[in-house]
Structure 1
Amino acid sequence: MRRYNTYSICLIFALSISLFIIASLYVDKTIYLTSTEHWRSLKVIIKVEDSEDSYVQEIPIKLYYKVNNSATNKGDIHTMTNENQSHGTTVINNASIPTQKETHLATDIENILDKARSDIRRQLSNYNLSYSGVDALEDLVMESGGHPIRTLVISSWRSGSTFLGDLVNSIPSNYYHYEPLLMFGTKQIRRPTDATEALSIVTRMFKCNFEGLEEYFEFESKDLSLFSHSTRLWDYCKDDKTNDLCFNADFISRMCKLFPFQSMKLVRLRLRLVDEILNDTELNVKVILLMRDPRGLMQSRRHRRFCELSSDCWEPSLVCADMVSDYIAARNIMQRYPGRLLVIRFEDLALKPDITSQQILDFMKVDGRKAFDEFLSSHTNMEVAGVHSTFKVTRNIPFKWKYTLDYHYVEDLQIACKEAMSLWGYKMAYNETQMMSNEFNPVEDYTISK
């Protein structure tokens, strides 16, 4: 009986110790890590007592990282959870166990970024860095603390902006932010009060910060072809069947920071509102303003459904008021920010592509003549059907309006746009015969007076 009691006491004692250990294991094991620490370097060390000997030992754990946005009362923290703590999918303090898919995605991202770095170095192996005023490629790469060359194209619908945007994007290792304001619809942003959100998006994208742009990603997800214009990104995410990469803000932010050149095209934001961007010395953005004859502009917009739904698109008085406003804004910017604005006309780009494209390269300070020549050769000598196609016989486009528009419509349009046409060097057609004559050249020289 005494032996039986001894066994009972030992058993109860052992069970108590076990319960104590188990309970201690399932207490909140979340580790709060300040945002200045790197979670991958985190280790768990315990002290082991073995008879008279003692030593420290690292416990291998797998951690999942997630920003805890709701934990404001704990300061700026991230949450880390021991994967061994649970075998289910329980979420603890907003941190969850990584799935196999998430693990694979993280690995894929690192591999893709490594490949992109190698591709960029290969593409620019013969690039003349002195043309861009730097000594090393790292001087142009944000990931290594450099400052990329950023170019912003501003225009309006059917002005040839897609062609110009793709031309600039032909520069090797250029990251193209294609129409980030598409979600604003068919409207012109003309007032500073309406421009706050738009300018914030533009600035953040140029700084490669895509966090918090859920609305942008949601809109883009409805038409994946929009990503195809951003060719450097699309090359890496087009084969991703789940589309995780295209809409992964962290991945896109990191990818963007690898490229020495960035460009963006906007047709919804007027020139006078980019002062805030030009004033940002960190960005050091250069702006190209693309203009087009309002007669060619309106001819190209006719019968476009997107245009029929907005007076900003089809009302001549509004269209030409914007052209006058752009002229005044261009004059002011040239005075305030010398060397930061280049103005070109669509007609000059179409009829004199070699000269005009060299002006663009000199303005950007980019060694891209070979890339431009290849693009122009492949895109200006053949027709490919499609509203947004950039494969055109460009010499046939600028004056197409002369032979397709009714003169009475042209006459009314010219009356509404008289001031704009005078400022930008577009000559009036005074009758139908003159308008359709091959001798009538509606484009003349112009200057932006100071």
Structure 2
Amino acid sequence: MTRRLQKKYLMIILGYSVLLLLIPYMLDYRTKSAHIIKHGQQQRRCPDSEIWNNSNTTDTTEDAAVNRSLSNKMHIYLHATWRTGSSFLGELFNQHPDVFYLYEPMWHIWQSLYPGDAASLQGAVRDMMDALFRCDFSVLKLYAGNQNISTAFIFGWKMNKVICSEPLCDGHKRNELGLVKEDVCGKCQRKDIKELERECKKYPVMVIKGVRVLDLGVLVPLIRDPTINLKIIQLFRDPRAVHNSRLKSKQALVKESIQVLRSRKQTEKYKRLLVPNNRGNRAENYVSSAMELICDNWLNDMMLILNAPYWVKRNFMKIRYEDLVFHPLAELQKLYRFSNLSSFPAMDKFVLNMTHGSGYSSDKPFLISSRDAKEAIFAWRERLNVEQIAEVEAYCSEVMRQLGYQKNSLDKT
């Protein structure tokens, strides 16, 4: 009898021990199952919405909107590509007395890290923008090498209205409109970067113009950040006109074109583009090939915004270069309303003068000057041959359709 009881108790003890050992595994299995179910639900969600629903962000859409409204300073990124008229668009902000404007600050990254491909530099471009929008210019030290960081280090500083005006310099007056004279600004005393940071913090609106963000999705973390209150103005232009202008400035665009092409070298399509057929004019081939990628990037940006939530769309503005130069006053009003800026008669006169000049462009690429709007828009019809036009229309057909550009007629050509 005693031995039976001992066996019974032994079996109870063993069963209890086994149960204790199984409990952790059961709990762990339950946790993993829940995770798998949750992950499966996430996988079935629309992929276009994933980019806007970062699990690391605790703000709801409503909370983000409230936080954005609490930010007193507005930050605007002029999103463009080479030869779309972005310098002219940027100048409309550079001239405004309430705007702190920076022209292509991410140029320093591409120059310092050359020949890095464009895709690998996108994170650094975004991080620099993040720092600059907070008036933290120390980020430039990462790309300065042995150079001293001062106002004269900033790319395009001789055309910057803030740097070349009081109190940093007496070369120009901030409230008087007119293109900055490089020879005058070049005589300005170089100021410590901390002084530029202090000036940056005084302005209610900060604008950065750039051509080195290839994918708008890279900026999503900045768009979601309520402390930045970021708005984006994307500039488009007829791809045929862009191609014509790029060919005109091909020697100045070779390095950038190679960096853009190298970012897609892993696919057979872009390997083809990176190896020019005509070795006699490699510069023209690189610049022409990069145009295909530019149209691909434009289309991706348009699809991204199309599927974006409302709070993103209301902080995004699309503008065509043709509309800007044909209807400068109306488009200027739209731009300034979007940017919470007020226009004034002197600004209206300035934009009219800039679009009613003589000639297509200057001999120097990237020089801001008064142009004849019609000649600038339609120059590609006379300067591109039939084959060049047909090629651009072929690989940019969907972009042209989305933006409302009609294909050319061979008879008219």
TM-score, normalized by length of structure 2? 0.63
Find the aligned partners of 2:333 and 2:218 in 1 and give their Cα distance.
Answer: 27
Find the aligned partners of 1:345 and 1:354 in 2 and give their Cα distance.
Answer: 14
Unaligned runs of 5+ in 1: 1-139, 436-450
For the pair 1:314 / 2:253, whether they are aligned, the reply is no
Question: 1:194-233 maps to which residues of 2 (within 5 A)?
Answer: 194-216=121-143, 218=147, 226-233=156-163
**Structure-2 change in CA distance of 1:279 and 1:425 (3 Å):** same
For the pair 1:301 / 2:246, whether they are aligned, the reply is yes
Question: For the Cα contact (< 8 Å) 2:233–2:319, is it kept in 1?
Answer: yes
Please list the CA deviations of residues 152-184 of structure 1 after superposition, one character each: whole Å capped at 9, or x if unmatched.
100000000000000122221311111111121
CA positional deviation for 1:415: 1.1
CA positional deviation for 1:206: 1.0
**Structure-2 change in CA distance of 1:241 and 1:158 (3 Å):** closer
**Structure-2 change in CA distance of 1:381 and 1:345 (3 Å):** same
For the pair 1:292 / 2:231, whether they are aligned, the reply is no
After superposing the two structures, state which structure 1 stretch, 174-183 or 305-314, moved more: 305-314
Unaligned runs of 5+ in 2: 1-68, 172-184, 261-286
For the pair 1:340 / 2:319, whether they are aligned, the reply is no
Find the aligned partners of 1:370 and 1:347 in 2 and give their Cα distance.
Answer: 22
Question: For the Cα contact (< 8 Å) 2:84–2:242, is it kept in 1?
Answer: yes
Which of the numbers 370, 373, 382 marks the counterpart of 1:403? 382
Find the aligned partners of 1:368 and 1:176 in 2 and give their Cα distance.
Answer: 17
CA positional deviation for 1:333: 3.9
**Structure-2 change in CA distance of 1:216 and 1:249 (3 Å):** farther
Question: 1:88-107 maps to which residues of 2 (within 5 A)?
Answer: none
CA positional deviation for 1:334: 5.7
Question: 1:348-387 maps to which residues of 2 (within 5 A)?
Answer: 348-383=323-358, 385=362, 386-387=364-365
**Structure-2 change in CA distance of 1:394 and 1:189 (3 Å):** farther
CA positional deviation for 1:411: 0.8
Name the structure 2 match of 1:325: 300
Find the aligned partners of 2:117 and 2:229 in 1 and give their Cα distance.
Answer: 22
**Structure-2 change in CA distance of 1:146 and 1:318 (3 Å):** closer
Find the aligned partners of 1:303 and 1:212 in 2 and give their Cα distance.
Answer: 34
After superposing the two structures, state which structure 1 stretch, 397-406 or 309-318, moved more: 309-318
CA positional deviation for 1:223: 7.5
Q: Which residue identity lines up with residue 275 of structure 1 in the other structure? A: V
Find the aligned partners of 2:355 and 2:324 in 1 and give their Cα distance.
Answer: 11
Higher strand share: 1
SS in structure 2 opposite 1:420? helix
Question: For the Cα contact (< 8 Å) 1:379–1:390, is it kept in 2?
Answer: yes
Find the aligned partners of 2:346 and 2:117 in 1 and give their Cα distance.
Answer: 33
CA positional deviation for 1:294: 0.7
Aligned residues: 288
TM-score, normalized by length of structure 1? 0.58
Question: For the Cα contact (< 8 Å) 2:75–2:207, is it kept in 1?
Answer: yes
Please list the CA deviations of residues 379-411 of structure 1 after superposition, one character each: whole Å capped at 9, or x if unmatched.
122247332223212232111101111011111
Q: Which residue identity lines up with residue 124 of structure 2 in the other structure? A: E
Find the aligned partners of 2:116 and 2:86 in 1 and give their Cα distance.
Answer: 15
Question: For the Cα contact (< 8 Å) 2:149–2:193, is it kept in 1?
Answer: no
Name the structure 1 match of 2:91: 166
Find the aligned partners of 1:240 and 1:308 in 2 and give their Cα distance.
Answer: 28
CA positional deviation for 1:413: 1.6
**Structure-2 change in CA distance of 1:358 and 1:334 (3 Å):** farther
CA positional deviation for 1:214: 1.4
CA positional deviation for 1:336: 4.8
Q: Which residue identity lines up with residue 299 of structure 1 in the other structure? A: N
Name the structure 2 match of 1:428: 407
Q: CA RMSD in A?
A: 2.9
SS in structure 1 opposite 2:389? helix
Percent sequence identity is 23
CA positional deviation for 1:327: 1.2
Please list the CA deviations of residues 167-224 of structure 1 after superposition, one character each: whole Å capped at 9, or x if unmatched.
1222213111111111214999864x53221111111111111124214554988877
Question: For the Cα contact (< 8 Å) 1:357–1:372, is it kept in 2?
Answer: no
Q: Which residue identity lines up with residue 278 of structure 1 in the other structure? A: I
Question: For the Cα contact (< 8 Å) 1:159–1:297, is it kept in 2?
Answer: yes
After superposing the two structures, state which structure 1 stretch, 222-231 or 324-333, moved more: 222-231
RCO comparison, higher one (Cα < 8 Å, 6+): 2
Question: For the Cα contact (< 8 Å) 2:125–2:212, is it kept in 1?
Answer: no
Q: Which residue identity lines up with residue 253 of structure 2 in the other structure? A: C
Please list the CA deviations of residues 2-43 of structure 1 after superposition, one character each: whole Å capped at 9, or x if unmatched.
xxxxxxxxxxxxxxxxxxxxxxxxxxxxxxxxxxxxxxxxxx
SS in structure 2 opposite 1:414? helix
Question: 1:35-74 maps to which residues of 2 (within 5 A)?
Answer: none
